[in-house]
Amino acid sequence: MMKNGVKKIALLTGGGDCPGLNAVIRAVTRTAILKYDVEVIGYKFGYKGLYNNDFMPLTLKTVSGIQHMGGTILYSSNKDNLFDYTVEEDGVEVKKDVSDVAVENMKKENIDVLVVIGGDGTLTSARDFARKGVKVIGVPKTIDNDLASTDVTFGFNSALNVAVDALDRLHTTAASHHRIMLLEVMGRNAGWIGLESGIAGSADVILIPEIPYDINKIVDKVREREEEGKLFSIIVVAEGAKPLGGNVVVNKVVKDSPDPIRLGGIGNKLAYDLEQLIKNHEIRCTVLGHIQRGGMTSTFDRILSTRYGVEAVEMINNNKFGNMVCLTGRKMSYEHLENVIGATKVVNPNGEIVEAAKAIGICFGD
Ligand code: F6P
């Protein structure tokens, strides 16, 4: 039993999926049932399920065997903001605040607390539900690692491992053909995946949104390597990277998404631009894309997600509603959702990690 009488918890996963979601779902469910004898359900497709009252019971059986799996057994949506939701009225699509329907649905099912697992967009709605008096706990998810209140989001490490594996593979083929290989990685407007995969994957050039690049510096780096007898080069380019004085490359605009701009395309653009300046090497670009979000959850993320899930339930027992569970240093902590939203964590261009990369000769195009 919980000391505050909480008897039933609902979970939902929102925004882009990432490895570790299932591990959090499992940890919340197991802790709630085994430690506190609390019932758990999961709304399907994020907030959409909350609106449609579409849910599944989460039991020891339904969460069995899912810890290692990427994706989410609850499905996800990155479009459904119930405070600005598209509904059809008299055959016409209109935007409406339908959050009261969600609150009613929770009442109908006797839900005491809603645990929201998501990134900035999903947690913004969590904050808005908290403002309406709903008891909410947030759990920080995103491969981009760009939430300021927590040291690390779950999903980041798994994505990083995929990017490093890709770089290891590109190395052997680049060396065989004396090619310049570009790898475009995700991360939106934060360069964490690019920076850390580039260091771990022994890249020669890392281009991130926080450090606009001069293409001539990249050419200089390739030439410098040639002089050392290294006839191939590896370039990691984050999808949000841009040239000095230039713009990001937008792949598409997703209507109805809280963050409608989808980046992508800088890798191929840069490959083309470099081909105009470098004639003695072939240049190839690999866009890693959603491979970074799929597959198995890394060991690090399984542990982090488990800790987040367990802590979320402890926060419920301790009445810490309206907060998001965080990792601060090596410890679990929490931060109010009001302070979490919009606080983006980007790479410090003069920070220790960038300096370390520069010290070992990695070029950032600056
Ligand atoms: O936020 C996670 C992320 O994978 C970003 O790195 C990327 O820019 C975006 O989502 C891709 O979104 P979508 O799944 O809509 O293609």
Give residue 257's pLDDT.
Answer: 82
Residue 288 beta carbon below 6 angstroms from any ligand 1 atom:
no
- Mean residue pLDDT across the chain: 97
Q: How many domains does the chain have?
A: 2
* pLDDT above 70 as % of the chain: 100
Which CATH number is 266's domain given?
3.40.50.460
Residue 249 sits in the same domain as residue 176: yes
Please state the atom number of ligand 1 nearest to the C-alpha of residue 263.
8
Residue 14 sits in the same domain as residue 132: yes
Give residue 140's pLDDT.
Answer: 97
pLDDT tens track for 90-113: 999 999 999 999 999 999 999 999
Q: 143: annotated binding-site residue?
A: yes
In the structure encoding, which two tokens stand for residue 295, read together? 């597959």
Mean pLDDT for 279-288 is: 97
In a domain, 335, yes or no: no
Residue 188 sits in the same domain as residue 280: yes
Which of 96, 38, 302 lies closest to 11 in space, CA to CA? 38
Residue 268 sits in the same domain as residue 145: no
**Which pLDDT band, with edges at 50, 70 and 90, does 79 fall under?**
confident
Q: What angle do CA 295, 47, 306 make, to 5 degrees?
A: 45
Residue 157 CA to residue 296 CA, distance in Å, equals: 11
Q: Which residues contact 139 (CB under 8 A, 6 or more apart)?
A: 24, 115, 116, 117, 118, 308, 309, 312, 324, 325
pLDDT tens track for 28-56: 999 999 999 999 999 999 999 999 999 99
Q: 307: annotated binding-site residue?
A: no
Its pTM stands at 0.97
**Which pLDDT band, with edges at 50, 70 and 90, does 333 fall under?**
very high
Residue 325 CA to residue 139 CA, distance in Å, equals: 6
Give the domain range for residue 273. Answer: 159-293+348-359
Ligand 1, from 18, 188, 257: best to mutate by most atoms within 8 Å of Cβ? 188
* pLDDT above 90 as % of the chain: 96
Residue 318 sits in the same domain as residue 189: no
Would you state the torsion angle of the CA atoms of residues 178, 180, 181, 183, taken in this order, to the nearest 10 degrees?
160
Which CATH number is 65's domain given?
3.40.50.450
Residue 22 sits in the same domain as residue 91: yes
| Whether residue 127 has pLDDT greater than 90 | yes
In the structure encoding, which two tokens stand for residue 184, read together? 């475009």
In a domain, 30, yes or no: yes
In a domain, 163, yes or no: yes
In a domain, 366, yes or no: no
Determine phi and psi for 147, rounding to 5 degrees: -90, 125
Helices marked H in the chain = 21-36, 47-52, 99-108, 120-131, 156-177, 192-200, 215-227, 266-277, 299-317, 337-340, 352-359
In a domain, 342, yes or no: no
Give residue 258's pLDDT.
Answer: 79
Residue 23 sits in the same domain as residue 63: yes
Residue 73 sits in the same domain as residue 172: no
In a domain, 224, yes or no: yes
Residue 318 sits in the same domain as residue 304: yes
**Which pLDDT band, with edges at 50, 70 and 90, does 133 fall under?**
very high
Residue 179 beta carbon below 6 angstroms from any ligand 1 atom:
no
What's the 278 CA to ligand 1 centre distance in angstroms?
Answer: 31
Residue 237 sits in the same domain as residue 209: yes
In a domain, 137, yes or no: yes
Residue 323 sits in the same domain as residue 352: no
In a domain, 127, yes or no: yes
What's the 292 CA to ligand 1 centre distance in angstroms?
Answer: 10
Give residue 259's pLDDT.
Answer: 83
**Which pLDDT band, with edges at 50, 70 and 90, does 78 fall under?**
confident
Give the DSSP H or E segment for 210: none
Residue 194 beta carbon below 6 angstroms from any ligand 1 atom:
no
Give residue 138's pLDDT.
Answer: 98
Residue 278 sits in the same domain as residue 264: yes
User: Dmax over Cα atoms in the chain, in whole Å?
Assistant: 72
Ligand 1, from 147, 186, 263: best to mutate by most atoms within 8 Å of Cβ? 186
Mean pLDDT for 339-356 is: 96
* Whether residue 144 lies in the annotated active site: yes
pLDDT tens track for 288-331: 999 999 999 999 999 999 999 999 999 999 999 999 999 999 99
Residues in the chain: 366
pLDDT tens track for 221-278: 999 999 999 999 999 999 999 999 999 999 999 987 878 999 999 999 999 999 999 9
Give residue 26's pLDDT.
Answer: 98
